[in-house]
Structure 1
Amino acid sequence: MPMSLRVVDSITELRPADAGCIAVSGSHGGISSARYALAARPLLSVFNDAGVGRDGAGIAALAFLQSQGLAACAVAHSGARIGDARSTLDDGVTSHCNEAAVALGVRTGQPVRDAVAVLQLPSRKQT
């Protein structure tokens, strides 16, 4: 069964029933967004880096979620519209990834659509 994909303009739209999904959002990757992702516990949360900002505020969610064992990445604000999850999915290219996201195969410079496609592949048994 393919991994569930939730495409939400705001990470606040996630619910506990979304646990384990791939969450592609239009939200910035700040701490306030991270708290919503933590409550829902998706397999991967995708945010907008919002230009990264002062002291890395636009990607602070990545380290916070890593500390909770959750994968997260951000797309470059120059390629995807902030607040528009469809743009994140269709136009987004990852600019930052936490270690848990890298362990899933997500890479900096990778189109989000490609990362999602790989994660949605049905698992195959080794022979």
Structure 2
Amino acid sequence: MLSKRLILWIAAIFLGISILMLYTEYRTKDLLHDFLPNKDLEEILNKMAIWEVDNGTNKTLAIINRDDPRLDDMRLALSTWEVKRTLLNNKQADVVYQLDITYYDNTLKILFFQNGLLAIDGQTYKLVNGETLDEILKAIH
């Protein structure tokens, strides 16, 4: 039979690993740094598209390619965005906008919900510093 001291050590190690895993999952993340392989969009970007979603139909608001002059404005707006994972569920909210960032052969899809939450890679996030999609919409017009 294992001694109490060994069981306590094993429990402490398991608890420490669990806390570390939860911290890395739910900490504040920088949108460009943590979700894209390189935060310099000029190097990796193929295309960026913003869609307005209305009753299942998509309306293209903007398509920004690598040589588009609006890319710098988009990069500046996105560079300040920090997101934090939330336990709230977004399944009840309707998607309002979708931002697709195509880099290399991949596409990062960011869904903006009516309730203010975001979905990135199937996980629910909220913007930390009060940023809104309005900054992006101003940058493209």
Compute the TM-score of the two structures, normalised by the length of structure 2.
Answer: 0.25
Larger of the two Rg values belongs to structure: 2
Which structure: greater strand fraction? 2
TM-score of the pair, normalised by structure 1 = 0.26
